[in-house]
Chain A
Amino acid sequence: GENVEQHPSTLSVQEGDSAVIKCTYSDSASNYFPWYKQELGKRPQLIIDIRSNVGEKKDQRIAVTLNKTAKHFSLHITETQPEDSAVYFCAAPRPNAGKSTFGDGTTLTVKP
């Protein structure tokens, strides 16, 4: 089955700095890669995703890059703010299985 590895498990940055979280996946058939943000005590929320035929996608301060050859994709957050503090999960769907495999999560702390 699909194996998704996410690094780092914890990340602490100063407000205004950038944060990068990386995921690798094993199933070459995976073709769509979402990122979820889960604030403490709240639901996971889809914040950005990227299709396999696109190398990069941006939405304001967040961006996702994909390297299909190397089977990894990354979440980039620029100009971090304290409200960016949360657990971030990547996911890789298994196209014919009707489900997604989640990474183990990265706890991001943005210090003011």
Chain B
Amino acid sequence: DTEVTQTPKHLVMGMTNKKSLKCEQHMGHRAMYWYKQKAKKPPELMFVYSYEKLSINESVPSRFSPECPNSSLLNLHLHALQPEDSALYLCASSQVGVAYEQYFGPGTRLTVT
């Protein structure tokens, strides 16, 4: 299996809602990433997990809360988001130490109303 999957594909949420984004990979990768991508911009790194432990937090607001329950799954919990958080949220995975060869999921298109 050489694919990273993400659910849901689309999500519309109000500013008071709580929702979660899910990511799954079965490539045996032990590094997993969350990115935020605005239209026509590069992916912007949010979090990195290495061996299921949070290794990088790029000063992301606490309304985004990542979780890595096991080596195949990565979640992003969302609470009290702002309209400017509307974006494509991409998950990626790679071998640890091989950040240059990342495999991306299809993304979740998030709209905050």
Contact = CB atoms under 8 A, between A and B. Distances in A.
Interface in A23-71: 32-34, 36, 42-46, 49
Given A44-B90, A44-B104, A105 B55 contact: no
B7 to A, nearest CB: 14
A19 interface: no
Nearest to B4: A43
Given A43-B104, A45-B104, A98 B43 contact: no
Contact of A93 (B42, B100, B107): B100
B31 interface: yes
B15 interface: no
A32 B101 CA distance: 9
A44 B94 CA distance: 14
A105 B41 contact: yes
Contacts of A100: 99-100, 102
Interface residues of B, number: 23
Contacts of B97: 98
Interface string B71-111: 00000000000000000001000001101111111110000
Nearest to B107: A43
A46 B105 CA distance: 12
B42 A99 contact: no
A56 B103 CA distance: 23
Given A34-B101, A104-B41, A105-B41, A98 B31 contact: yes
Interface string B43-61: 1010010100001100000
A45 B43 CA distance: 12
Contacts of B96: 98
A105 B42 contact: yes
- 7 tightest CB-CB pairs across the interface, nearest first? A102-B42, A93-B100, A32-B100, A43-B104, A93-B99, A43-B106, A44-B104
